[in-house]
């Protein structure tokens, strides 16, 4: 319009938004998709009205509006209408009935509408002598109407009022007065459709309005295939064909260590967009060769220990390599895309000295590192310089004396003075004093080979309570040094060595958890375990191996998951009881069985337990005295 102050109204309240650009003479109205009368008011001009009939969603309609200036020769006219709330249109413009209106002389078109009444259409001639027009509308009956559609559950809206949903039969039955209506059918995922209905008094008022899926398709080919694909922030990873509502989307493809891909795409109704995206690697490589190999590695304070080939995003990093007992190493490195950076780092070990003396002077000495590897051997007194800092074990033995093992700590730039006095006596002889004959037995279900009796037993069990089959009771991790005998003496002094150097059962407070202080976890690991009490070729079973055995005799019948199942198994396990780690008392003999494994958990060790009611794996403190059954390696 050339006018700059237009004011719009809708008889159905159907204006959603108005965007005005008066300087350009343009007005944009966003309206609901149903039939309505739009009224245009401009001061000093005749009110303009126009009817928008059955607009469809997404329609763009254009109108040019040039209101007429209010003429001085207008005539006041009254239209008397019964019923009084009927809708009156004069020249297709909505007008209030039973009210005075200003009309120019001449012929005018009249249309009256009211639900439940027959529509009246007429032409009247207005003049100074002809200013009153009266109409009485005729009532009509409602008629059945069927709305049909292809989508079950679709919403049916008539003239802006929801009237129900399409049922499973594909229809909705209702009653309407004859006349003109705007029908709207909608459902999630479908394009809303509108249609003008002409409902007649007679005939088949069946109207079909099928819906079309409101989707387009996106076919994606992404390399690498495990990259994360998002559309407007929603993840669609792993989907090759994606159905989407038409519109604009932000497409992102990303993966750690790769360049991200970003693009804006448009999905069009009923069209397929094919998109192929390959993202490029965005990493460089860092190759580390370390001495010692178990040193810890940090890059920008993030732990990468144990990784000799590290992939990193390009950029600068702080590399820190350290290990206790060694001088730390640090430098700033730069990682370049698609390039490899190699670093050979040899940490300088901190060292100290050992000044060693022994009695008797002809004792033989072995120095072992914290991994159990022999560092050096000698006899008698010795001074060792430039020893790497850390924990070491001294194994000292001499003819006619009981051998001992002691732990020592070498500290940076300090001399450790260590003296060992061996006790005269005969070392414990496993072969002579355990008297455990090695007889092998195989469990056909697990395929594992075991000794047929407990360590220290004189025979395999003939019943669950066979005392000759009970054998000895070992504290976890101790060697066969005599402590395991059921009548061995006790002491409350904890040992600081792997071999205490005596035959006493060491009593530990329940909160101490162990006969050794500090604890050591690998004393019974494997046939080469430091204190493996089993005969050559045999070792303590792991908790997993014990569980496999228990399952082999407990899985078929739940009632065999107990002491009966333990004895019925090829191992013939008796209820040998235990020796309390905090008291030294022999307990539960003939009523329970306790069998150590080589496995540890926290401060405790794992063991198999069974009684007349149940059998299971558990864990408890290592000072306890339990049975040992050896498995072949």
Residue 514 CA to residue 476 CA, distance in Å, equals: 8
Q: What is the pLDDT of residue 557?
A: 46
Question: Can you spell out the DSSP letters for 323-355?
Answer: -TTB--EEEEEEE-TT-EEEEEEEPPBPEEEEE
Residue 40 CA to residue 21 CA, distance in Å, equals: 16
Q: What is the pLDDT of residue 12?
A: 85
- Which among 460, 404, 457 is positioned nearest to 435, based on CA atoms? 457
Q: What's the pTM?
A: 0.41
Cβ 343 vs Cβ 324: under 8 Å: no
For the chain, how are helix, strand and coil distributed in percent, rounded to 5? 5, 50, 45
C-alpha 224: how far from its chain's center?
A: 22
CA distances from 406 to 371, 374, 436 (A): 15, 14, 29
Q: What is the pLDDT of residue 461?
A: 96
| Tokens 């397929």 sit on residue | 272
Retrieve residue 387's tokens. 């020893």
Q: What is the pLDDT of residue 82?
A: 93
Q: What is the pLDDT of residue 493?
A: 92
Q: Are strands 206-208 and 143-148 parallel, antiparallel or unpaired?
A: parallel
pLDDT lower than 70: segments of the chain: 68-72, 426-435, 554-559
Q: What is the pLDDT of residue 431?
A: 47
Q: What is the pLDDT of residue 433?
A: 55
Q: What is the pLDDT of residue 452?
A: 97
């Amino acid at each position: 319009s050339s006018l700059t102050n237009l004011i719009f109204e809708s008889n159905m309240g159907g204006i959603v938004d108005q965007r005005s650009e008066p300087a350009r003479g343009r007005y944009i109205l966003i309206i609901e998709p149903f039939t309505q009368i739009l009224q245009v008011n401009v001061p000093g001009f005749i009110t303009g009205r126009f009817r928008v009939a059955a607009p469809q969603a997404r329609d763009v309609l254009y109108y040019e509006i040039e209101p007429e200036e209010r003429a001085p020769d207008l005539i006041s006219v009254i239209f008397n209408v019964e019923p009084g709330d009927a809708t009156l249109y004069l020249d297709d413009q909505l007008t209030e009935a039973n009210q005075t209106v200003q009309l120019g002389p001449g012929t005018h078109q009249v249309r009256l509408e009211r639900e439940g009444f027959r529509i009246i259409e007429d032409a009247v001639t207005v003049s100074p002598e002809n200013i009153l027009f009266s109409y009485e509308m005729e009532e009509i009956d409602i008629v059945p109407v069927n709305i049909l559609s292809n989508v079950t559950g679709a919403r049916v809206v008539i003239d802006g009022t929801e009237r129900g949903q399409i049922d499973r039969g594909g229809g909705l039955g209702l009653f309407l007065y004859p006349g003109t209506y705007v029908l709207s059918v909608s459902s999630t995922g479908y394009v809303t459709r509108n249609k003008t209905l002409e409902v007649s008094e007679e005939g088949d008022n069946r109207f079909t309005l099928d819906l079309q899926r409101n989707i387009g398709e996106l076919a994606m080919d992404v390399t690498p295939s495990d990259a994360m694909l998002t559309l407007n922030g929603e993840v669609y990873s792993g989907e090759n064909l994606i159905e989407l509502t038409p519109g604009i989307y932000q497409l992102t493809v990303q993966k750690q260590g790769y360049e991200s891909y970003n693009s804006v795409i448009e999905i069009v109704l009923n069209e397929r967009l094919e998109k192929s995206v390959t993202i490029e690697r965005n990493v460089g490589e860092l190759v580390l060769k370390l001495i010692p190999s178990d040193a810890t590695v940090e890059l920008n304070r993030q732990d990468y220990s144990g990784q000799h080939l590290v992939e990193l995003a390009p950029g600068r990093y702080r590399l820190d390599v350290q290990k206790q007992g060694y001088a730390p190493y640090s430098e700033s490195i730069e990682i370049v895309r698609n390039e490899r950076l190699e670093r050979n780092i040899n940490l300088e070990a901190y060292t100290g000295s050992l000044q060693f003396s022994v009695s008797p002077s002809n004792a033989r000495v072995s120095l072992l590192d914290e991994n159990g590897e022999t560092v050096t051997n000698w006899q008698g007194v010795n001074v060792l310089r430039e020893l790497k800092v850390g924990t070491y074990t001294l194994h000292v033995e001499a003819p006619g004396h009981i051998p001992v093992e002691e732990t020592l700590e070498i500290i940076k730039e300090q001399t450790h003075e260590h003296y060992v006095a061996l006790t005269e006596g005969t070392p414990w002889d496993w072969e002579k004093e355990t008297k455990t004959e090695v007889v092998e037995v195989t469990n056909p279900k697990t395929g594992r080979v075991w000794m047929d009796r407990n360590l220290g037993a004189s025979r395999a069990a003939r019943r669950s309570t066979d005392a000759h089959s009970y054998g000895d009771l070992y504290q976890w991790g101790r060697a066969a040094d005599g402590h395991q005998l059921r009548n061995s003496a006790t002491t409350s002094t904890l040992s600081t060595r792997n071999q205490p150097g005596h035959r006493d059962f060491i009593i530990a407070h329940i909160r101490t958890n162990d006969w050794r202080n500090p604890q050591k976890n690998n004393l019974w690991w494997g046939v080469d375990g430091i204190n493996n009490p089993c005969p050559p070729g045999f070792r303590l079973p792991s908790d997993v191996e014990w569980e496999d055995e228990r399952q082999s005799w407990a899985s078929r019948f739940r009632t065999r998951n107990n002491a009966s199942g333990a004895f019925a198994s090829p191992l013939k396990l008796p209820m040998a009881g235990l020796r309390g780690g905090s008291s030294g008392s022999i307990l539960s003999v003939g009523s329970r069985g306790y069998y150590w494994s080589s496995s540890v958990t926290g401060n405790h060790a794992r063991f198999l337990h069974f009684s007349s009611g149940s059998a299971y794996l558990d864990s408890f403190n290592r000072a306890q005295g339990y049975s040992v059954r050896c498995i072949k390696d």
